[in-house]
């Protein structure tokens, strides 16, 4: 009798729900045309697309690094200003690509302690915010960069794109070390003539460019020959990801770069909104010497958009997180994310003035950029991860109830 009663209650509830669904504000779900694609197939399609995007970005970076290597070789051999300029231009191109890769730290590029299959390869290429210009100057004095293999094992803050920025864009005769540091105390810095200093910088930059090519190729190879299959085979034989959900979570974790690194570190800190004792902190700007802070941020945003929309190599729309949300019927969230993306991009593109100059003349504009990014990351941290049941990055595993 009680079973019958339970059945009656269940049927009544179901009919109530049907009425509510028809009359309420929820998304309609009737008719074949309203049906979303089968969810598992769509997830696999999205993962395949995201994997290709990462691979394509690394491939482009290898090409950029090779161009940078040629340009620095030319500068190192000629010492000419026009060759330095060419090298700077190639650095910008490589940095532009790498800033896209920054938002794609999935697998081998990622941190080994917090990323699935992470091998810290990102730090080999770009160690920001671990930047130490004094250490770069010390290496200039020691000239240890001439032995490429040995130098590849040096600490990450004397290698990579960040160290190279200092070598390419700083032309001063002073070093970045304290007066009581070894190279100033023993006079070894002062012994280097100005012209030789330039030659050393060019040779050092060339060594770093060669290492960038190696590291870029290694990262690309690890993806192409192994990790891409882990991503596309998630939940279906992959060793790294036991489900498509885990693999999607890895990409979502990477996209959170926009929150902590981009919004909080690259914008809030220099704008004086966070971790800044003065009204503004221009010293906290990323790539300030190359006046490339805005371009870096824009590349981060474009990479985020690329993953979110699942854009193909030629920019055509593919399968990304946007499609997963649409398949759930979350049209309003998709519209909100679209609007936030457009707004953030417009704020970044509206004025070509370098951030350092902007901080001097109109710091409020940087605050606006922060607000624009925050609007986007607020959506990311709330409804986006909620609807897709994703987790915040580096979440300590534990139980729930």
List the interface residues with another protein, window 19-58 (CB under 8 A): 20-21, 24-27, 29, 34-40, 43
Interface residue with another protein among 181, 328, 353, 365 (CB under 8 A) is 328
Q: How far is the CB of 199 from another protein (least distance, A)?
A: 44
336 is a contact residue toward another protein (CB under 8 A):
yes
Rank residues 217 and 371 by Cβ distance to another protein and give the closer one: 371
| Residues 194/173, Cβ–Cβ less than 8 Å | yes
The tokens for 109 are 């590029």
Rank residues 155 and 395 by Cβ distance to another protein and give the closer one: 395
Dihedral through CA 249, CA 254, CA 255, CA 257, nearest 10? 140
Region near another protein per CB under 8 A, out of 208-216, 218-226, 313-321, 331-339 = 331-339
Rank residues 90 and 341 by Cβ distance to another protein and give the closer one: 341
80 is a contact residue toward another protein (CB under 8 A):
no
Q: How far is the CB of 281 from another protein (least distance, A)?
A: 12
Q: How far is the CB of 283 from another protein (least distance, A)?
A: 17
Q: How far is the CB of 56 from another protein (least distance, A)?
A: 26
Of residues 227 through 286, those in contact with another protein by CB under 8 A are 234-236, 243-245, 260, 264, 268, 272-274, 276, 279
Q: How far is the CB of 262 from another protein (least distance, A)?
A: 13
Euclidean distance between CA atoms 204 and 149, whole angstroms: 13
Region near another protein per CB under 8 A, out of 7-15, 129-137, 309-317, 351-359 = 7-15
Write the interaction track for another protein spanning residues 102-131; mark x where CB under 8 A is met and - where it is not: ------------------------------
Rank residues 49 and 244 by Cβ distance to another protein and give the closer one: 244
- The answer, yes or no, to whether the previous bond of 129 is cis (omega within 30 of 0) is yes
CB neighbours of residue 30 within 10 Å: 9
b/e for 33-66, b at 16 or more Cβ within 10 A?
eeeeeeeeebbbbbbbbbbbbbbebbbbbbebbb
Interface residue with another protein among 144, 154, 367, 368 (CB under 8 A) is 367
Interface residue with another protein among 8, 10, 130, 182 (CB under 8 A) is 10
The tokens for 112 are 């080994």
Rank residues 194 and 396 by Cβ distance to another protein and give the closer one: 396
Q: How far is the CB of 216 from another protein (least distance, A)?
A: 30
Which DSSP string do the residues of 206-237 spell out, in sequence order?
A: HHHHHHHHHHHHHHHHHIIIIIHHHHHTTTTT
Rank residues 68 and 330 by Cβ distance to another protein and give the closer one: 330
Best CA proximity match to 363, nearest among 297, 275, 268, 299? 268
Euclidean distance between CA atoms 202 and 193, whole angstroms: 14
Euclidean distance between CA atoms 328 and 27, whole angstroms: 9
How many chain residues interact with another protein (CB under 8 A)?
A: 71
Distance from CA of residue 105 to its chain's centroid? Answer: 7
Distances (CA, A) of 358 to 347, 348, 373: 13, 12, 17
Which DSSP string do the residues of 265-328 spell out, in sequence order?
A: IIIITTTTSSS-SSS--GGG-TTTTTT-HHHHHHHHHHHHHHHHHT--TTS----SHHHHHHHH
Rank residues 142 and 236 by Cβ distance to another protein and give the closer one: 236
387 is a contact residue toward another protein (CB under 8 A):
yes
Region near another protein per CB under 8 A, out of 13-21, 54-62, 69-77, 191-199 = 13-21
Rank residues 146 and 243 by Cβ distance to another protein and give the closer one: 243
Rank residues 163 and 281 by Cβ distance to another protein and give the closer one: 281
Which DSSP string do the residues of 353-389 spell out, in sequence order?
A: --HHHHHHH-HHHHHHHHHHHHHHHHHIIIIIHHHTT
């Amino acid at each position: 009798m009680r079973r019958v009663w339970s059945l009656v209650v269940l049927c009544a509830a179901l009919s109530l729900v049907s009425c509510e669904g028809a009359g309420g504000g929820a998304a309609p779900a009737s008719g074949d045309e309203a049906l979303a694609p089968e969810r598992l197939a769509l997830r696999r399609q999205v993962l395949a697309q995201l994997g290709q995007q990462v691979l394509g970005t690394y491939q482009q970076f290898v090409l950029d690094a090779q161009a940078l290597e040629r340009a620095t070789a030319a500068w190192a051999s000629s010492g000419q200003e026009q060759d330095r300029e060419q090298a700077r231009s190639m650095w910008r191109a490589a940095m532009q690509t790498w800033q896209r890769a920054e938002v794609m730290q999935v697998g081998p590029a990622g941190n080994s302690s917090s990323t699935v299959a992470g091998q810290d390869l990102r730090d080999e290429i770009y160690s920001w915010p671990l930047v130490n210009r004094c250490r770069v100057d010390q290496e200039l004095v020691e000239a240890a960069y001439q032995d490429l293999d040995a130098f590849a094992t040096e600490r990450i803050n004397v290698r990579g794109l960040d160290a190279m920025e200092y070598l390419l864009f700083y032309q001063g005769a002073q070093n970045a070390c304290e007066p009581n540091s070894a190279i100033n105390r023993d006079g070894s810095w002062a012994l280097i003539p100005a012209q030789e200093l330039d030659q050393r910088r060019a040779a050092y930059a060339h060594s770093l460019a060669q290492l960038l090519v190696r590291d870029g190729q290694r990262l690309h190879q690890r993806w192409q020959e192994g990790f891409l299959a882990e991503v596309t085979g998630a939940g279906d034989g992959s060793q790294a990801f036991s489900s498509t959900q885990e693999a999607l979570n890895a990409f979502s974790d990477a996209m959170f770069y926009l929150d902590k690194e981009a919004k909080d570190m690259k914008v809030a800190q220099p704008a004086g909104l966070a971790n800044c004792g003065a009204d503004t902190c221009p010293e906290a700007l990323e790539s300030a010497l190359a006046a490339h802070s805005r371009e870096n941020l824009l590349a981060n945003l474009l990479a985020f958009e690329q993953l979110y929309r699942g854009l193909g190599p030629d920019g055509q729309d593919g399968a990304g997180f946007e499609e997963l949300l649409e398949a759930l019927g979350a049209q309003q969230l998709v519209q909100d994310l679209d609007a936030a993306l457009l707004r953030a991009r417009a704020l970044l593109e509206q004025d070509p003035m370098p951030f350092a100059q902007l901080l001097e003349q109109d710091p409020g504009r940087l605050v606006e950029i922060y607000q624009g990014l925050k609007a986007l990351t607020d959506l990311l941290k709330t409804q986006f991860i909620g609807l897709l049941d994703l987790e915040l990055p580096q979440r300590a595993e534990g139980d729930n109830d």
